[in-house]
C-alpha cells in the first residue's frame, strides 16, 4: 500500500478498534496517535490537557503527523480533533487517504460513557453535548474525508471490509 490510511471521526467512532482490525485481518501496521503521544509524553491524555493545556496537545498532534508523513503504509488512528486544524488535513491529504468513521450521538454515548480519559467529555458525558460538538465539527470532518463509513450496528470486521473494498475502488482499477 502506498501512503497512509488516516482514520478520523468523533471520539468513540471506532477508529482504534478498526485500525487494530485492519492490522489483524489485513496485515497492515496500525499506529494510534493518542497512544504514541501518551508514550512519548509519559502521561495520560487527561493529564496532558490538565497540566499542559489543549493547545500543547494540539501541537503534539501536528508534530507527530509531520513525522509520520515520512513513513509509508501505516493505518493511522487519529485523535477525534486532529482534522480540526487545516494544517493537519493538508499533511494527511499529501500522504494518504482520509477515512471518516461516523456514528449517531446515541451510539457514541454508549461507547464512551464509562471512559474517563477524554477530557472534552468529562463533565459533559451526555447525548446532547455529544450531538452539539459533533454538529459543530461535522463540516470539517466531511470536508477532510475522501470517503465515510457509517459504523452504527456494524462489527469492526464489517467496517474493515467496507474500507478495504472502497480503497480498491479508489485505486481506480
Ligand atoms: C479528542 C479526541 C481524543 C483525544 C483527545 C481529544 C477530540 O481521541 O485525542 O481527548 O478533540 O475529539 P479519540 O477520538 O481517540 O477519543
- The grid coordinates of residue 63 equal 508534530
Cα 34 to ligand 1 centroid, rounded to whole Å: 8
- The grid coordinates of residue 73 equal 503504509
Ligand 1 atom with the smallest distance to the CA of 117 is 10
Q: Looking at ligand 1, which residue's alpha carbon is closest to its atom 8?
A: 79
Q: Looking at ligand 1, which residue's alpha carbon is closest to its atom 15?
A: 79
Q: Report which of 83, 71, 97, 90 is spatially closest to residue 170, judged by C-alpha positions.
A: 97
Is residue 84 a contact partner of residue 140, using CB atoms and an 8 Å limit? yes
Neighbour tally for 56: CB within 10 Å: 12
| Cβ of 118 less than 6 Å from ligand 1 | yes
Q: What is the pLDDT along the chain (173 residues), one digit of tens a residue?
A: 778 999 999 999 999 999 999 999 999 999 999 999 999 999 999 999 999 999 999 999 999 999 998 888 999 999 999 999 999 999 999 999 999 999 999 999 999 999 999 999 999 999 999 999 999 999 999 999 999 999 999 999 999 999 999 987 444 44
Q: Which of 7, 81, 84, 137 has the most ligand 1 atoms within 8 A of CB, as the residue to mutate?
A: 81
Is residue 116 a contact partner of residue 69, using CB atoms and an 8 Å limit? no
- The grid coordinates of residue 15 equal 477508529
Q: Which of 15, 31, 34, 41 has the most ligand 1 atoms within 8 A of CB, as the residue to mutate?
A: 34
Q: Looking at ligand 1, which residue's alpha carbon is closest to its atom 1?
A: 80
Is residue 38 a contact partner of residue 83, using CB atoms and an 8 Å limit? no
For helices 54-68 and 45-52, the axis angle rounded to 10 degrees is 120
Give the pLDDT confidence score for residue 119 in this predicted structure: 96
d(CA 108, CA 159) in angstroms, rounded, equals: 16
Q: Looking at ligand 1, which residue's alpha carbon is closest to its atom 10?
A: 118
| Cβ of 68 less than 6 Å from ligand 1 | no
φ/ψ region of 122 (left if φ > 0, alpha if ψ in -120 to 50, else beta) reads beta
Amino acid at each position: 500500500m502506498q501512503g497512509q490510511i488516516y482514520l478520523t471521526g468523533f471520539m468513540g467512532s471506532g477508529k482504534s478498534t478498526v485500525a487494530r482490525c485492519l492490522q489483524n485481518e489485513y496485515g497492515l501496521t496500525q499506529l494510534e496517535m493518542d497512544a504514541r503521544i501518551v508514550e512519548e509524553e509519559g502521561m495520560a491524555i487527561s493529564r496532558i490537557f490538565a497540566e499542559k493545556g489543549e493547545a500543547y496537545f494540539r501541537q503534539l498532534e501536528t508534530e507527530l503527523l509531520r513525522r509520520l508523513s515520512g513513513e509509508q503504509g501505516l493505518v493511522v488512528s487519529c485523535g477525534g480533533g486532529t482534522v480540526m486544524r487545516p494544517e493537519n488535513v493538508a499533511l494527511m491529504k499529501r500522504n494518504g487517504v482520509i477515512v471518516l468513521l461516523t456514528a449517531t450521538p446515541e451510539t457514541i454515548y454508549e461507547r464512551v460513557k464509562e471512559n474517563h480519559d477524554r477530557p472534552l467529555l468529562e463533565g459533559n458525558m451526555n447525548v446532547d453535548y455529544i450531538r452539539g460538538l459533533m454538529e459543530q465539527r461535522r463540516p470539517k470532518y466531511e470536508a477532510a474525508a475522501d470517503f465515510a463509513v457509517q459504523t452504527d450496528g456494524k462489527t469492526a470486521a464489517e467496517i474493515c471490509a467496507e474500507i478495504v473494498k472502497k480503497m480498491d475502488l479508489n485505486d481506480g482499477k
